[in-house]
Structure formats: structure tokens, C-alpha cells
Chains A and B, each alone.
Chain A
Amino acid sequence: MPVGDWMLRLCYHPAASRHVTALLLDARHISKAFAGLRALDRVSFDLRRGEVHALVGENGAGKSTLIKIMTGAEQADAGTLVIDGVPLTHIDPHTTRERGIAAIYQQPALFPDLTVAENIALSLERGSVWRRIDRGARRRRASELLERIGVALEPDRLVGELTMPEQQVVEIAKAIGASARIVIMDEPTASLSDREVTRLFAVIARLRGEGVGIIYISHRLEEISAIADRITVLRDGQTVATRDRGDVTRTDVIRMMVGRELDAVFPKREVPIGDTALAVTNLSNARAGVRRVSLAVRRGEILGIAGLVGSGRTQLAETIFGLTPAEDGTITIGGASVRIRTPADAIRLGIGYVPEDRRQHGVVLEMSVAANTSVASLPSVSRRGLIHRGEERARAESYAKDLRIKTASVAAEVGSLSGGNQQKVALARWLATNPSILILDEPTQGVDVGSKAEIHRLMQELAERGMAIIMISSELPEILGMSDRIAVMVAGTIATTIPRASANADNVMAAALGH
């Protein structure tokens, strides 16, 4: 902070100057909604000088949104953000950086083809495009910064050749170089080994000693009890509590993360469970991060797969579906051992897969509802190899009616539909292949409440018709409300499977966190 600035504030804002000593950052009553869905509801969060303040919560609790608002990547709908006692009126990435906020994400945002020194210089140097570049100074600055953090890293190395923790160190050096006093770390240890975590903690301790405030986001509760001074728990976009580390146990934190009443809106009914439809044994796929997974799902059964983001749930689905074929292990369908090397194999064997990111993988936005519905089952609407337009249309119309897809006509492009209706089109595509096993990856993510209830109703009907369903979901109520059994994934494998009767939010979340 320039001295002049500081003196001005001292003279004219005596009240604010007292805050300078106490709070680096104070977010008050922040609210934010996306497309009518409330992501944050009057969340308050503050950060003191020289403290590590952990932010925890389930997937989708609102942590990322809060971070985006603090860094200016998103604008809050309501609430104020006070930095050093000065409320910010307009928040954008530029002003927050000027104010000393830096964020370090799980995936470093660096230029792989430039050296460490150049990466650091690019984010720090300002001035004319035609300014002369002083390579020596760049290198010296990089060395100084890295030394301050206490890491030996050669400034001339290409960032693309660095390991993940080394890249994180470069990000931290960038933050320190920009004299950031508020450093946000989002899951920094997700891809680090134990030894690398220890090194990172040493860096954090050093920063804290210099008076930097750190907002630390992690799912690993043991890390949080190791380094956090305070813990704030978010749930469903609201602050549950802020506590000093010494005042809470891990069990308390887990309870605060999940402690919500289960609303009884799920249309789950008992269905007679039939024979095993799909069984996998010791399925492994090192490249995708799937390790020796064994599971079975029976006709009429909904198997929920819970786990944190990054625990390998989607990778497991992609391995079963042949998108990234398994390297080891066996798959049996209806008792017969099968090999699945491509999605086409999986479809032939009666597996359907509604992927997580529908815009990227699920639907073809430029194609019509009818063409999207039939694309995985063209032979059934074709005669002698020719697509029968009328048949295709009729088929799509009947699915649109069954699934209550809101569209002007089945000739409309899928891109013009709402998210919930796009998801239903993705579902219709797989129902049209008449699968006996259906894998749903986050089937209700980002869809409105009405569509959500309809997708749940549909899942129940499919189960009643004898379909075996695997449902991956980050939403605990959905997992608990719809599943007959719940398999919890941790680090690429199934840690435990809990039957419906004994499952509750606490034990599923505890299992997902590895306790």
C-alpha cells in the first residue's frame, strides 16, 4: 500500500484505520444467485492478519462461488466486501489484485512454454508493450521470491517440465511478488504427496509469519486441524458456523457440513430386486485413476455412488462405458464375462451413460431434439439403412411427452432448451437405446427444481421396470433419497458400501472424507 494512501485513510477514516490492524478482509452478507438458483445466501466471512482460515463444505456448498466473488471473477448480488477497512464498491479481478488478493487454484494457471522467471514476470510487470525486457532482473526477482518462500527452484526451467507442487510454488511466488496479503488456496494439496504437503505447510507457516492471511479450502480435515487457526463451515450457500480450531472436533465439523433435514420429496419406493445385471471385479485403470474397483448392481436397484470431487467417480463410469477402457479386472453382464473397449461395445451390451457435463458430452447443441434422441439408436428408426424421418419424429415426440421435455417442437435445436430440458433430452437418447443398465452422472446438477423431481420420478419408474441404475451424485440428499445401496469412493476406489437402511448423511460424508 502506498504510504500516501495509508496516511489519507488515517486522517479521514479513523474508524477504518482501527480495522486495518484487525481484519484484512471482511465479507458481509454476500448473496449470489445463478439463473434463479441461490448459490450464496447472506454469507459472512472474515480474515485476520497472519491467520489461516479454513473454509469447508460439501461439493456445491458455495465455496467456489464465495472465492469467485472475493477475487472479482463474479459479482455479488448483495452484500459488501471490505478490505483493510475500506468497502469496495466495484469488484473486478483487477481491483482485487491491486488490493492484495491472490488466488491459487488446484490447477495452476501458468504458461507451460515459458520459464519460471518469465511466468512470474508476466504477472507482475506493468508498462508499455514496447518496454525493454531485462532478463537478468527477471531471473533475480524470481530467485529472490522463491528464496523467500524457502524453495530451491531454478528460474530458467520451463514451467511445463515442473511437477504439480513446483507449479504451485510458482503461483505462490507470483502472489508474494504482487505483495498479496490475502492468499486464497483452493484444494492446494489435492495432487500432492505427503512429503510435498509438509513442504507446502512450511511455506504457509512462513507466509503467516509475515502477516499474510490465508484462506484455505480443503476436504482433508486432518490437514485443516493441522494448520487452520479458524474454521468456517458452509452448507447450501449459508454460513453454518465459524469456530476456533481448538473448539471443534472433526466429528463436529462433519456434522456441521451435512447437518440438514432430509426433505421427504424423493419418490423412492421399494422395488423387488432381481438378478445381478452388471458386476465388475478389481477393475483398474491407472491412467484414469481408477484402482481395483469391485461393485455389482442388480435389476431394479439404484446404486448410488458418493464421493468428493476428484475421487474418481466419473472416471469409473467412463471406464465401465469403454471411453477409457479398463486395463485390468473383469466386467460381467447378466452373468457373462464381457470386454468393453469402446462406447459402441457398451451400447451393444445394453449400457447407457448420461454424462456429467451435458453441454460438452451429453447433447449436440446444433442438432434437433429428434436427431439428438435418435443418435445412439439410429438402426431402430431406420429401414434398410435409411433414416425414417417420420418414425424418428414420432419416437422423439413420445419421449418428449413421457419425459415432459418442454420444447416448441422436436425439430427445435437442443441449444434453445433450458438446462433441465437438455438433460432430459440426454436421458431420452439413452432410453431410446433400451438399455438394461443405465449410468447417470450427476443427473440433476444445475437443473431447476421441477425438472429435478421429474428426473427422480423417471429413475424410480425405470427401476420398477427392472432397469439397473448406477447414479453418481455429489448431492447427499439425492444419494440418500434415491439409492438402495451407497458405494462411497475415495481416491479412485470404493472405500465402503452402505445399505439404504443404515445410511445417513454423517456416515456417508465421513466415509467420503476417509474417516
Chain B
Amino acid sequence: MIHRREISLLIVIIALGLVLAAMTPGYFARENLSDLFLGNMPVLIVAIGTTLVILTGHIDISVGSIFAICGVVAGIAAKATGSVTLAALAACAAGGLLGALNGSFVAYLRMPSIVVTLATMVGLRDALRWATEGAWVQNLPPAFQWFGLPQAWYPFLACAIVGALLVAMSWVMTRVAAGRAVYATGSNENAARLAGLDTRRVTFTVFVVAGLLTGLAALLNSVRFNQIPSNAGLGLEMKVIAAAVVGGTAIRGGSGSLAGTLLGVILLGAIGPALTFLGVSAYWERALQGAIILAAVAVDAVRERRATHSAVAATSAA
């Protein structure tokens, strides 16, 4: 099922690329692309989880706080055990647990996800601040940084991990029954329940997956630096929600794709540095991103109205 959204996004991105190639070929230098990728990699990984959450008709704004906690957990685990594997496991486990916390409130206690994750967003961040007293994690073992690989290799490793993750998740969403269950739950929970799906478990699971992926993103991000900040991930939730929405995921759930989210991350991530390269003040970056989000949502609204009209026409013609 190829959505028109993906195609129009691709066209916009290619057009932007052509303009940049013509005007500032330096944009496509290897260092710049590598920086762009590494800078947006956490957004992309977290956005995959957020897309799943939005597809079920919910929202998770606590990912920024979970991201900060997982990074710190990874660093502490690395220092305590000296093992990168254990650090990775600890980061993902922390993310999964915090996601499960959100998920159990939303799915089993039927609390609104915006309220639950607002509470965990604020609460978790302040808990972290209290626990670390604002201190950053320093003196990381050498094996932790770049996973002990030469720095030049790291972008390739990260790229391979993210690529594999995207392919696997897209596969699950389109070809595995579990993915179908996510779409059905978000599209019409009543009908999904009647079809024998355990919609509460579906909802719980997507929050856990969102947490796990946030943990992974925090890990891959923190190995790039020689210290781990205790205030990472501020505003991350807005970036990932924006990417999903620009990528065509309906905020009410039930429709969207991971390919769209990937393109959304690329467009929103590429536009800021592009402005710098084109000599436009970087202050315009956020304004332009806002305009892109509005444009995407406006296109959805217009398309939806047309669809409703034609559906009504079809019903009355029958």
C-alpha cells in the first residue's frame, strides 16, 4: 500500500536536495552528512516507537525524560561493570520498564495517555535531577566510547543498526499479525475487540516498545561523547511527534507508516542545516519546521474532507 504522502514527501526532499546540490555542494560533504545522520539518529529511533503509539490512538510525551534516564543508566552500568553489553541491556531494560509503567496506566487503568505521559515526563525528569544532583556521568570506560571501535567506523555501525531496525519494524507493521492489530486497535477499538484482539495488550505493548526504542536511542547517542548529560532529550517528544505527523501518521490513530516517519525525520532534520548552508539565519529553522507541520496537517484535513464527501455521495447513490 503506497501512500501519496510518502511520494509527495520524497519529491519535496529531492527538490530540497537539488537546490542544495546546485547552490551549496558542500552540504553533501561526507562529514556534514555523517553529522546530520548522527544528530538525527536518536530522533529517528524514538520516532519509530512514537509512530506505533500514535497509530494506536495514543500519545507519549515522556520519551525525552526516558531518553535522559536511559543514557545515565547506560553510563553508570558501563562504569560499574565495564561491559558494553551489560550497559546496553541496562539502557534498554530501563526504557522498557518505564514504557511499561506508562502502558499499564494507559491500557489497564484506562487513563488518558496525554495525562499519564505528562506526569511521567515531569516526574521522571525531576527524579533524575534529584538522583544525579545535576551531575553528568564522567570517566566512562574507554570500551564504552564508540563501542571501542575507531571513530570513523561508528556512523556505519549506527547506520546498519538503524537500517535493520527500520526494515524489521516495517516488516512487522505490514506483514505480521501484531502490526495489523496495532492499526485495527487505533482505527476502531470496538471492532478490533469484537474481532478477538486483546486491545489492551496491544496498547500496553506499543508503550513498552516505545520505551525500549528510547533506551536504544539513548545508548547509541551516549557512546558518542565522553560524558553523559543528566538533562538530555529536552524537547525530544516534540521532534518525534512532529516527524510522525509530517510523515502522514494520523494523530487520531489507525493510519500512517514507518516509511513516512523516516521521510518526516529526514525533512525536518535536513532543513535546519540547509538554511545555514544557504546563508539564511538559523533563527528561521523552527519557524520553517512549524510551517511544514502545519502544511502537512492542512493537507490531511483537506484530503479527509474530500474523502468524507465522496463516501457520503457513494452511500446515497447506493
Residues in A lying within 8 Å of B, measured CB to CB: 35-36, 321, 323, 342-344, 346-347, 353, 355, 360-368, 371, 375-376, 378-379, 382, 385-387, 389, 411, 415-421, 429, 448
The 8 closest A-B pairs by CB, nearest first: A418-B318, A378-B177, A344-B196, A347-B196, A376-B195, A343-B196, A364-B188, A364-B187
Contacts of A362 in B (CB 8 A): 191, 194
Q: With a CB–CB cut-off of 8 A, which chain A residues contact B180?
A: 371, 375, 378, 387
Q: Does B192 contact A (CB under 8 A)?
A: yes
Contact of B318 among A321, A344, A415, A420 (CB under 8 A): A420
- Check A343–B193 contact: CB distance below 8 A: yes
- For B318, the chain A residues whose CB sits under 8 A away are 35-36, 418-421, 448
Mask, B301-318, CB within 8 Å of A = 1, is: 000000100110011111
The answer to whether the Cβ of B198 comes within 8 Å of any Cβ in the partner chain is yes
B187:A365 contact, CB within 8 angstroms: yes
B residues at A contact (CB < 8 Å): 1, 174-177, 180, 183-184, 187-188, 190-198, 254-255, 307, 310-311, 314-318
Check if B193 sits within 8 Å of A365, measured CB to CB: no
Residue of B nearest to A388 (CB): B175
B196 and A364 within 8 A (CB) = no
A376 touches B196 (CB 8 A): yes
B314: chain A residues at CB < 8 Å are 416-418
Total A-B contacts with CB atoms under 8 angstroms apart: 90
**A-B contacts, 26 listed (Cβ < 8 Å):** A35-B315, A35-B318, A36-B316, A323-B194, A343-B195, A347-B196, A360-B191, A361-B188, A364-B184, A364-B188, A364-B192, A364-B254, A367-B183, A367-B184, A367-B187, A368-B1, A371-B180, A375-B192, A376-B196, A378-B177, A378-B180, A385-B176, A386-B176, A387-B175, A389-B175, A420-B318
Query: When the two chains form their complex, are residues A366 and B176 in contact, meaning their CB atoms are under 8 A apart?
Result: no
Given that A35-B316, A382-B177, A411-B1 are known contacts, is A361 also in contact with B311, CB under 8 Å in the complex? Answer: no
The residue of chain B having its C-beta at the shortest distance from the C-beta of A420 within the complex is B318
Contact call B195/A418, Cβ cutoff below 8 A: no
**Could you tell me the distance between the alpha carbons of A390 and B310 in the complex, rounded to whole angstroms?**
29
Chain B hits for A417, CB < 8 A: 314
Contacts of A365 in B (CB 8 A): 187-188
Q: Are B184 and A375 in contact (CB under 8 A)?
A: yes
Contact of B177 among A361, A363, A379, A448 (CB under 8 A): A379
Q: What residue of chain A has the Cβ atom nearest to residue B190's Cβ?
A: A361
Whole-angstrom distance from the CB of B245 to the nearest CB of chain A?
Answer: 17
CA of A417 to CA of B314 in the docked complex: distance in angstroms? 7
Q: In the assembly, what is the distance between CA of A346 and CA of B198, in Å?
A: 13
Beta-carbon contact of A355 and B194 below 8 Å:
yes
> B191 to A364, Cβ gap below 8 A?
yes
Q: Is the CB of B191 within 8 A of A361?
A: yes
Shortest C-beta distance, A217 to chain B (Å), equals 28
Distance of A172 from chain B, by nearest CB (Å): 34
Q: Are A360 and B176 in contact (CB under 8 A)?
A: no
- Are the CB atoms of B175 and A353 closer together than 8 Å? no
Residues on A with beta carbons closer than 8 Å to the beta carbon of B184: 364, 367, 375
Pick the contact of A323: B177, B193, B310 (CB < 8 A): B193
CB-nearest residue of chain A to B185: A364
**Chain B positions within 8 Å of A378 at CB level:** 177, 180
Of all chain B residues, which has the CB nearest A34?
B316
- Extra contacts besides A36-B316, A360-B191 (13): CB < 8 Å: A323-B194, A342-B196, A343-B193, A364-B192, A364-B254, A365-B187, A371-B180, A385-B176, A411-B1, A418-B317, A418-B318, A420-B318, A429-B195
Residues of B within 8 A of A368 (CB): 1
Residue of B nearest to A451 (CB): B318
Question: What residues of A have a CB within 8 angstroms of the CB of B310 in the complex?
Answer: 416
Of all chain A residues, the one with the shortest Cβ separation from B188 is A364
Bound together, the chains give a CA A342 to CA B318 distance in angstroms of 36
Which of these, B187, B193, B194, B317, contacts A366 with CB under 8 Å?
Answer: B187
Please name the residue on chain A nearest to B174 by beta carbon: A387
CA distance A364 to B314 in the complex (A): 17
Please measure, in the bound complex, the distance between the C-alpha atom of A385 and the C-alpha atom of B181, giving whole angstroms. Answer: 13
What is the chain B residue whose CB lies nearest that of A318? B194
Residues of the B chain whose Cβ atoms lie less than 8 Å from the Cβ of A366 = 183, 187-188, 254-255
Instruction: Give the Cβ gap from A422 to chain B, nearest Cβ, in Å.
Output: 9
Which residues of A lie under 8 Å from residue B187 when comparing CB positions?
364-367
Report how far A323 CA is from B199 CA in the complex, Å.
12
Least distance between B292 CB and chain A CB atoms (Å): 24
A366 to B257, CA, bound (A): 14
Q: How far is the CA of A418 from the CA of B177 in the complex (A)?
A: 27
C-alpha spacing A35/B1, complex, angstroms: 32
